[in-house]
Structure 1
Amino acid sequence: MKVQELMECKEHEIHSIEPEKTVAEAIDEMAAFHISALIVMEGGRPVGIFTERDVVKTHLKFRDKPFTAVRVRDSMTEKLIVARPDDDLHGVMSAMIQADIRHMPVMLEGRIVGVLSMRDIIRHYVGSLKAELNYLQDYIGRLEEAQHD
C-alpha cells in the first residue's frame, strides 16, 4: 500500500504554528484540536515539527522558564523526516521506527499535503488483519460445513 492510499482515508487538515509563537500557544493549539503534533511553518514553508515529546524536552531544557516565555523555535524538532505520497507504507513505518518518531509530514512538490502518524499506520494494519481474520474464519466455517454434508 502507498502512503497516498492511506491519506485518502483520513482527515487532511494540517495544523501548523509559527516558530515565534510560544510553547504555551502550541500546547493550547494541540489541546484545542486533540492533536499531538504541529508543523512549524515560516514564510509558507515547513521548518520543523513540534510534538508532545517536544513539550517534555522543553520542560527539561528550560526548567526555570514558563512555557509562555519559551518560543517554539527553541523547542521544535528541526530535522524533518518526510514521506512522499507514492512511498510504500511499510517502508515509511520502518523509517519512523528507525528514527523513533511518531509523526511524519507527507510532502508533494515542496508543500506539505498531510501528516501521517504511527497511530494511522497501526489502525490500517489492525483493520487489514481483522479483515483477513474474518475471511479466514468464514473460510474455515464453510470447510467445516462442507465436511458435514
Structure 2
Amino acid sequence: MKNVAQLLKLKASQNQQVHTIGPHQMVMDALRLMAEKNVGALLVVEHGEVVGIVSERDYARKLVLQGRSSVGTPVKDIMSHPVITVDTHKNIDYCMNLMTVSHLRHLPVVEDGVLMGLLSIGDLVKEAIAEQADLIRQLEEYIRGG
C-alpha cells in the first residue's frame, strides 16, 4: 500500500498544484480563484502556515444561507479551522478513514510545518481502486500458476 509521499509524487507527475488564499482576502476572491482553477477548496495560508481551508460548502453554508456578502466578507470568517492534516508517512487507508470519519473532502499534507500537497477524496479512491485491481491481477496469476 502506498503512503502519502508516494501518492504526492504521482500527483506531482501530473502537475497538480495546491492553490492557496490569505485569510484577509475576500470570499469573492476565493470564489474567483476556485472557478479559475476548477477546484472545490483552497487552503488558507498565513505566514507560510496552513490556518484554514475554505470550500464551496463553507461558502454555501456560512455565507449564502446567512445572507452575507462575498464581496465584503473575509475568508477567515467562513473558513474551516483548525485544519486536519496528515504527514507524508501515513498510508492511504489511514487517510481514507480519517476523511470518512471527519467528513472531509480535502486533506492537506504537512511535514514539519511545511505544506507538501493536498489530497482529495477522489485521489485516494482512485489509488485504492488501482491497488485493488493490481491485487486481483496478482491473485489471478497465482491461481493460474503463473
TM interval, shorter chain, is: 0.7 to 0.9
Deviation at 1:52, TM superposition (A): 1.6
Give unmatched runs, 5+ long, in structure 1: 144-149
Deviation at 1:128, TM superposition (A): 2.0
Q: How does 1:91-102 map to 2 (within 5 A)?
A: 91-102=94-105
TM-score (structure 1 length as normaliser): 0.84
Deviation at 1:136, TM superposition (A): 5.1
What is the rounded CA distance, in whole Å, between the counterparts of 1:71 and 1:122 in structure 2? 33
Q: Secondary structure at the match of 1:79?
A: coil
RMSD of equivalent CA atoms: 1.8
Q: Which moves more between the two structures, 5-14 or 91-100?
A: 5-14
Partner of 2:44: 40
Q: Secondary structure at the match of 2:84?
A: coil
TM-score (structure 2 length as normaliser): 0.86
Partner of 2:22: 18
Q: What is the aligned residue count?
A: 140
What is the rounded CA distance, in whole Å, between the counterparts of 2:104 and 2:65 in structure 1? 19
- Verify: 1:118 aligned to 2:121, yes or no: yes
Q: Secondary structure at the match of 1:54?
A: helix
Partner of 2:131: 128
Deviation at 1:133, TM superposition (A): 3.9
Larger Rg: 1
Partner of 2:65: 60
What is the rounded CA distance, in whole Å, between the counterparts of 1:88 and 1:129 in structure 2? 15
Deviation at 1:53, TM superposition (A): 1.2
What is the rounded CA distance, in whole Å, between the counterparts of 1:52 and 1:130 in structure 2? 32
Give unmatched runs, 5+ long, in structure 2: none
Q: Equivalent pairs: percent with the same residue?
A: 29
Q: Secondary structure at the match of 2:18?
A: coil
Write the deviation string for residues 12-71 of structure 1: whole angstroms up to 9, x where unpaired.
52210011111111011011111111110112211101112111112123x1x3211211
Partner of 1:7: 8
Q: Secondary structure at the match of 2:124?
A: helix
